[in-house]
Amino acid sequence: MKKLTKLLSVAVLAFTLFSCSDDEKKERTIAEVAQRSPNLSILVEALVKTGLAETFDSPGAYTVFAPTNDKFEAFLAANGFASLDDVPVDVLTEVLKNHVIAGEFYSDDISTGYVKTLAVGGASNSNTLSMYINVTNDGVIINGGSANGGGTVTAYDIKASNGVIHVVDGVLGLPTVVNHAIANPSFSTLVAALTFNPSSGFASTLSGTASSPFTVFAPTNDAFGAFLAETGFSGLGAIPANVLESTLKYHVVTGANVLSTSLTNGQSVSTFAGQNFTINISGTSASITDANNRVSGIIATDVQCSNGVIHVINKVLLPSLN
């Protein structure tokens, strides 16, 4: 856990959202605190429209990442909505829930990693959407920042009786598989591979809903480094285009949001490449045996995206290239 400096607390005070004392703020709910800030009026309007204002005016413990009015206006314009009234209520509801995690997490509690939001995407009714938080020297970045449909925290630790508010510089969209891959620096080589040959359209496919939901077994940067050393390729550019595309597709299952609880020992998994691999379960450990009898460990599971789910693996899977 990375401790944030006193400067952040000063930034919160300088933000001048509220004129009341800390003791007074503790007595107000999240909804009431937001209502007192002119800069959060569109957020309040959205909460009222979706019926969520009542939720955040009730007892509980929530952490809310709150976009200011100008960020909401930018979000509406970018998505072709003239006003908040034009956004379908069901869509707006999930977007708002995507800004909320259960429990109270103040600045000193925030650390790099995945957390679960309250939002439900189109891929799963049971596994709520994941949020990737990256604590850096430049601040707390959510889902890769505003350029990736996320945001950066600009004010921290606004207290309420039922939780805490942090202000963000963007409306947090429902992240796709590609959004989540971009958000996590550990997947930078995977992102480079997905976008290396734009004519393949593979990155666009994993950003959309055709053939979705997707289950993606995502190799880390270290896994790609080991793969290049193993195969003798000097870099992504040295891999023949057909080999790279087949290899990437071998990590993807189409038409299924397969959660870790559905993986079984000996299970044969059919992939987008038209070849299978085998799941191995031993106690609490899971791994994959690929077409070349190479074994990759599954080291993190169930990163839920709006159009699929990601499981993290520590070795690149290699299909049969014959």
All domains in the chain, ordered by first residue: 6-168 (2.30.180.10), 177-313 (2.30.180.10)
φ, ψ dihedrals at 200, nearest 5°:
-70, -25
Q: Tell me if 285 sits within 8 A of 192, measured CB to CB.
A: no
pLDDT at 6 over 90: no
CA 27/CA 246 separation, integer angstroms: 58
- Residues in a beta bridge with 285: 282
Burial, 318: exposed, middle or buried (Cβ in 10 Å; 0-12, 13-18, 19+)? buried
Residue 263: its pLDDT value, please?
A: 97
Quick one: tokens of 262?
A: 């559905």
Sign, CA torsion 15/17/21/25: negative
Q: What percentage of the chain reaches a pLDDT higher than 70?
A: 92
Residue 53: its pLDDT value, please?
A: 97
pLDDT at 144 over 80: yes
For the question of whether the overall pTM of this predicted structure is more than 0.75, the answer is yes
| SS3 at position 254 | strand
Residue 201: its pLDDT value, please?
A: 87
- Residues in a beta bridge with 279: 288
Instruction: Please give the helix or strand (H or E) that residue 76 lies within, else none.
Output: helix 69-78
pLDDT band at 322 (very low <50, low <70, confident <90, very high): confident
Q: Tell me if 121 sits within 8 A of 129, measured CB to CB.
A: yes
Residue 19: its pLDDT value, please?
A: 45
Residue 2: its pLDDT value, please?
A: 38
pLDDT in tens, 238-255: 999 999 999 999 999 999
What average pLDDT does range 265-292 have in this prediction?
97
**Virtual CA dihedral for 42, 43, 48, 51, nearest 10 degrees?**
150
- Residues in a beta bridge with 164: 63, 159
pLDDT in tens, 82-132: 999 999 999 999 999 999 999 999 999 999 999 999 999 999 999 999 999
Which residue is it, tokens 């400067």?
Answer: 7
Report the chain's mean pLDDT, rounded to a whole number: 92
